Amino acid sequence: MHIPDGYLSPTTCVALYAAATPFWYVAGTRIKKTLSMRMVPLLSVFAAFSFIIMMFNLPLPGGTTGHATGAALAAIVLGPWAAVISVSIALVIQAVFFGDGGILAIGANSFTMAIVGVFVAHYTYRIIAGKTAVSASRRVVAAAFAGYLSINAAAFVTAVLFGIQPLFFTDSNGAPLYAPYTLDIAIPAMMIGHLGIAGFAELIVTAGVVGYLQKNDISLLSMSDVGTPIVAGTLQSGLRSARTLWLIIAGLLVLTPLGLIAAGTAWGEWGATELVAQDGGKTLTNAPTGLLQYANVWKAPVPDYAVSFVSSEQLGYILSGVMGVGLIIITMLLVTYIGARISRRNEHTNP
């Protein structure tokens, strides 16, 4: 989903602009180098294309409809760097001119959909497609996974962003100032919808279009494979700077919660631990039991979330926040690592 304004604190929004900026910068310089003068028209036309895809409503199995973000498709066809820029620009236009997603949240939405979504799709596709021919049916499967995982990764990061809001941003009574649900509710609530429905919209569009292009315009699929200028960063060439970026991002993510705690205290906000001390957990006990059970149902898909909903263990909240964030970093580093191994193997086998 596109995060509207008001769901994330301004600090979070600034942090995500800061996190997205190095990606935009690297993408900009890389594309400029590979595409040179072609950059402006190509990115413009593809940003328009990304925008249009987001408008296609698909009937999904099970009687619902949903639409794709196109991030996975853009990553497969354009290569990750050009996709980062095209999808981000489409998001800017949606936010500013169509009120779809907040303006302060542009950084956050770009980070989740245009950066996390694009890179997860890119590596998933590359890993599954392996060395198969561009026309291989395995590529359709790879595209399907890329689409499904890409939107779910984006949703997961969004859920984490939502979930950490009540940990750090509460008023003097401890009532949340922004997105009100903690990780143990935000994550299942977001993921059920995306794992179950929206993921399939992305899956269908990504796999469907890759299948269509294999039959009708295969040159588009080999563009980001053969090393023609459009690539703007296949594994081999993009890896080194990509890894540096992931490390920066990992650092940022780890530091963000810590920074937020510091900022929280500095603003005279009750730090999470202070809250426990002063409050003694008294006000935290009157959530209705019916809803508690519901919360437990939501928790089921993530059994490792040991922090129960109103446990009053505020430290536990922070831990789970850090855990969620850490999970993302580990996943990204793992995927990058596997990607690196595969590309090295490819380099050896076909020089």
Partner 1 sequence: MDALFTLNNIRYDYANTAQPALHDVSMTIMRGQRVAIMGANGSGKSTLLRILDGLYFPKSGTITAFGEPLDEHHLMDDTYAHAFRKRVAFVFQNPDVQLFNPTVYDEVAFGPLQMRWDKEKIARSVAETLDMLEISHLRDRAPHRLSGGEKKRVAIASVLILDPEVILLDEPTAALDPKSQSMVVDFLVGWANSGKTIVTATHDLDTVPDIADDAYIFQQGTIVAHDTPANLLQNHELLLAANLIHAHHHHHDGVPHTHPHFHLGHEHDHSGEI
Partner 2 sequence: MGGEAHHGKRRGNFIQRTIDSLAETLERSLYAEQFAEERGILQRLDPRVKLVAVLGFIICSAASRNLPVVGAIALVAVVLALLSRIPFTSLTPVWIGMFVFSGLIAGPAIFLTPGPSLATLPWLGWHVSSYGLRSAALLILRSEVSITFSVLLVMTTPWIHVMKSMRVVGVPTTVVVILGMTYRYIFLMLQSASDMFEARQSRVIGKLSDSDARRLASATVGVLLSKSFQLSNDVYLAMQSRGFRGEVYTLDEFRLGQNDYIAIPLIFTIFVSGIWFGLV
Name residues contacting partner 1, limited to 28-47 (CB under 8 A). Answer: 41, 44
Q: Is 1 in the site for partner 2 (CB under 8 A)?
A: yes
Rg of the Cα atoms in the chain = 21
Q: Determine which residue in the list 15, 26, 43, 129 makes contact with partner 2, applying CB under 8 A.
A: 43
* Residue 176 near partner 2 by CB under 8 A: yes
Crossing angle, helix 199-216 and helix 137-168, to 10 degrees? 150
Q: What is the DSSP string of 81-121?
A: HHHHHHHHHHHHHHHHHH--S-STTHHHHIIIIIIIIHHHH
Among 22, 141, 174, 246, binds partner 2 (CB under 8 A): 174
Residues in the chain: 351
Site for partner 2 in 281-320 (CB under 8 A): 283-288, 290-291, 295, 310
Of 16, 26, 95, 108, the one binding partner 2 (CB under 8 A) is 95
Residue 90 within binding range of partner 2, rule CB under 8 A: yes
CA-CA distance, 65 to 63, in Å (whole number)?
Answer: 7
Which partner, partner 1, partner 2, none, binds residue 306 by CB below 5 to 8 Å per kind? Answer: none
Of 133 and 287, which CB lies nearer to partner 1 in the complex structure?
133
**Number of chain positions touching partner 1 (CB under 8 A):** 3
DSSP calls for 157-201 = HHHHHHHHHHHH-B-TTS-BSSS---HHHHHHHHHHHIIIIIHHH
Q: Quick one: CA torsion of 199, 201, 206, 211, rounded to 10 degrees?
A: 130
What kind and span of H or E run contains 12? helix 10-35
How far is the first Cα of the chain from the last one, in angstroms, to the nearest whole number? Answer: 42
* Cα 199 to Cα 60: distance, rounded to the nearest angstrom: 10
Q: Which residue has the tokens 């903690």?
A: 182
Residue 66's φ and ψ, nearest 5 degrees, are -160, 165
Query: Which two structure tokens, joined as six digits, stand for 172?
Result: 């003097």
Nearer to partner 1 by C-beta: 38 or 344? Answer: 38
Q: Residues 195 to 224: which contact partner 1 by CB under 8 A?
A: 219
Task: For partner 2, give the closer residue by CB, 9 or 343.
Answer: 9
Nearer to partner 1, 21 or 228 (CB): 228
Nearest distance from residue 38's CB to partner 1, in Å? 13
Among partner 2, partner 1, none, partner that 104 touches (CB below 5 to 8 angstroms by kind): partner 2
Q: How is 204-215 classified by DSSP, letter by letter?
A: HHHHHHHHHHHH
Site membership for partner 2, residue 38 (CB under 8 A): yes
Question: Which run of H or E residues covers position 329?
Answer: helix 314-349
Q: How far is the CB of 47 from partner 2 (least distance, A)?
A: 4
Whole-number minimum distance, CB 212 to partner 2, in Å?
4
Bridge partner list, 315: none
What number of chain residues touch partner 2 (CB under 8 A)? Answer: 101
Min dist. Cβ of residue 109 to partner 1 (A): 23
- Return the number of other C-beta atoms located less than 10 Å from residue 338's C-beta: 13
Give the shortest CB-41-to-partner 1 separation in angstroms. 7
Cβ nearer to partner 1, comparing 150 with 214: 214
Closest separation in Å from C-beta 335 to partner 1? 34
Measured from the CB of residue 3, what is the shortest distance to partner 1 in angstroms?
27
Q: By CB under 8 A, name the binding residues for partner 1.
A: 41, 44, 219
